Amino acid sequence: MPIANADAIHRVWDELSDYDASQPEFALRRLMVFLAGLGNVSNVTWTAGIRMGGVEDGEAAPDPLQGWRVAAVKTLNPVAPNKILRAWDRREIDPSFLLPMRDVGMFRTYSFRRELLAAWFEQPFYREQYAVRDVHDAAFVAFPLNESCESHFGLHSRDRVSDEMIQALAYTLRGVKWFHRRLMLSQGLLMADTPLTPTEQRVLQLLLTEASEKSIAFQLGIAASTAHQHVVCIFRKFGVRSRVGLMSLWLNRTSRPSVADEARTPTD
């Protein structure tokens, strides 16, 4: 089946590749705006999922979510805090939570109207968390980056999401693995040992430019010593020793750089 809007999708790929590594938020918003134009969409979301580990011996019951946690969420249109993430973290399982667990680790799509029973749309969870936000249906694409890290995009629609729209959504997101990877890295995920704090994320964006530590401190309104501490912490979380090592992660390297590689360039 021909992909609708294929030329427009290819142009968006080109636009995304033109964004600098220090501009993940701008690039993400550009992609979200494009995805919103695929139909009668009320919102677009991006979610980073990470697997925190399996069931330990002695636990009362296995985790139906297989250790997966939501590590970061971005939305095109701001929304008020809701109970979905809290319920997910508390393992208060709703049928919609099990959809992304199907074929986990594989590129896949899933949607509410296509895969949930009609009775679900009469339940308080749907009415309170989706219907009130003008969401009649939602479709998602899951892009696995490794065995413990996945990137999920979602279209929240005022209408039923058509098969053609799901196909266009999947095609758009299947062709930009590098972009999913960059989004994860910008949040301190994928290669980092622990997620970055909001301040560290801002420092990271400037580290990916030519700004010196003094310039970073000035732009963020913090002391130079504080900026340096953030830089050191970022390097430690990513397992690198310099900007060269940090930048190599953005250049689609599959592993961290060696000490010999990093020794060629000072940290700042």
Better-scored residue on pLDDT, 22 or 73: 73
**The domain spanning residue 46 has which CATH number?**
3.30.450.80
Q: What is the pLDDT, as a whole number, of residue 191? A: 65
Q: What is the pLDDT, as a whole number, of residue 217? A: 93
Tell me whether residue 121 is in a domain: yes
83 and 173 belong to one structural domain: yes
Q: What is the pLDDT, as a whole number, of residue 53? A: 60
Q: What is the pLDDT, as a whole number, of residue 60? A: 52
97 and 46 belong to one structural domain: yes
174 and 70 belong to one structural domain: yes
Better-scored residue on pLDDT, 22 or 128: 128
250 and 172 belong to one structural domain: no
In this predicted model, what pLDDT tens digit does every residue of 197-253 receive, in sequence order? 889 888 988 888 888 999 999 999 999 999 999 999 988 888 888 888 887 777 654
Percent of the chain with pLDDT over 90: 55
Measured CA to CA, the distance from residue 102 to residue 147 in angstroms comes to: 14
| Of the residues 162, 186, 210, the one at which a domain ends | 186
> Is the model's pLDDT at 261 over the cut of 60?
no
Domain residues for the domain of 211 are 198-262
235 and 104 belong to one structural domain: no
80 and 207 belong to one structural domain: no
pTM exceeds cut of 0.75:
yes
What's the average model confidence in pLDDT over 247-268?
Answer: 52
In this predicted model, what pLDDT tens digit does every residue of 36-61 receive, in sequence order? 999 999 999 999 998 876 444 444 56
**The domain spanning residue 208 has which CATH number?**
1.10.10.10
Measured CA to CA, the distance from residue 69 to residue 50 in angstroms comes to: 5
Tell me whether residue 119 is in a domain: yes
**Phi-psi group of 78: left, alpha or beta (phi > 0 → left; psi -120 to 50 → alpha; rest → beta):** beta
86 and 37 belong to one structural domain: yes
Tell me whether residue 267 is in a domain: no
What distances in angstroms separate CA 195 from CA 47, 188, 233, 235, 237, one per listed residue?
Answer: 14, 5, 11, 12, 8
In this predicted model, what pLDDT tens digit does every residue of 146-204 receive, in sequence order? 888 899 999 999 999 999 999 999 999 999 999 998 898 888 887 655 778 889 888 98
Q: What is the tally of structural domains in the chain?
A: 2
Q: What is the pLDDT, as a whole number, of residue 62? A: 81
Q: What is the pLDDT, as a whole number, of residue 82? A: 74
Measured CA to CA, the distance from residue 79 to residue 32 in angstroms comes to: 15
> Is the model's pLDDT at 259 over the cut of 80?
no
Tell me whether residue 1 is in a domain: no
